[in-house]
Structure 1
Amino acid sequence: MHVFQPVDPVDIEQGAYTFDGTKFLVTAGSGGKVNTTTAKWGGAGFLWNKRVVYIFLRGGRYTSELLDESGEFSLSFLNQQEFRGAFKYLEAVSGRAEDKIAGARLTVNYDDGIPFIDEADNVITAKVLYKKEFREDGFVDKSLVDEFEKNGEYHIVYVGEIKKIMIR
C-alpha cells in the first residue's frame, strides 16, 4: 500500500513565471496606443485543447479597453524589488491621462505585433479566446463579493491562448 504525502502548492508553482499573488504587468495596444497595468491574479493551464493563461482585470481599465480592441496581450514578469518604484507609479497613474509606461521608466518592445515590457525577465504573449465579467449572482461564497468586488466594479476574466513564452 502506497502512502500519499502532502505537497505544498508553492512547490509545484515554481518555474520561469509564477502566478502566486506576485505582481506582473498586463500590456496591450491598439491603434498606436499602448498601456500596461499591474495584476496579481492569474494562472496557466490547458483548456479547449490549448495551452492558456487566464488573468483578471477590473472593468473600466484602459488596458482592458486596448486588449478588447486588439484581442492580444502580454504578461511581463519583472523583478519585484528592482522595479518596486515602477509598480507603484503604474498603480497610481492612469494610462488615459499620460504615457505611464514612459513615466515608470519602462520600455515597450514588440513580438509579432504584441507589446510587452522589455525590462521583464519573462514574457508570455497571448491571443484572447474568452472574456467574461464576474457578476454577483455567480458567487457561491458571497463574502468574496464584499472583499474583492467592491462598489460593483467587478473583475473580468480573460483566457488567452499562449502564443509565445520568452525567458531571458
Structure 2
Amino acid sequence: MVLDTEEPETERHGNFTVAGVAHRGTDVDEAALWDSIDDYADDLGDAAIGTDRYAVMFDVDADSGEFTYVAGREVEDTDDLSAELTAVEIPQATYAVLEPEYESVEEMVREIHTEELDGDRDEVHAPVFERYDSDRDPTTTADREIYVPVRDDDEY
C-alpha cells in the first residue's frame, strides 16, 4: 500500500481555483509538466494568489485508468489566462491529509480511487490535490502531502 490511511488527519479546505498545464492519460511526466508551466509564467504570475503550487488529479476513468493531472497555481480569476491553460475548481470539503510513498502519480491515483479510507469515504466529487510551498520541488517524491476528499459536510 502506498497510502497510509490509518486514522488520517483531516482538514477543511477548498473553495479556490487552480490553473495550469494539464495532461490526460495513464502516465504523467511530472517534470515535463512543471517545466512547461514556465511558458505561462506571465499569465499565471499576474493571476496567482500567493506562491504555492498545486498538482490536481481528477476525472479518473475507472475502466481505462486515465485521469487528468494539472500542475499549476491558485488563481483569483481565469478571465485573462491563456486558453491553453486548464482551470480546476477545488470545492470546499473535508480532506484526509495523507503522506504517500509512491513511485509514480499513476500508482497513487489508482490506489486513491480504489481505497476506502477505512470506510469513512462518502460520495465526494472533489479533485485530489497536492500543495507545494514555493521552496519545494514538486517533482520529488519526498515530503509530499496529498489532500483526498472524504466528506463534503460542514463538520470534520
Larger Rg: 1
- Which one scores higher on RCO, CA 8 angstroms, separation ≥ 6? 2
- TM-score after normalising by structure 1: 0.31
- TM-score after normalising by structure 2: 0.33
Higher helix share: 1
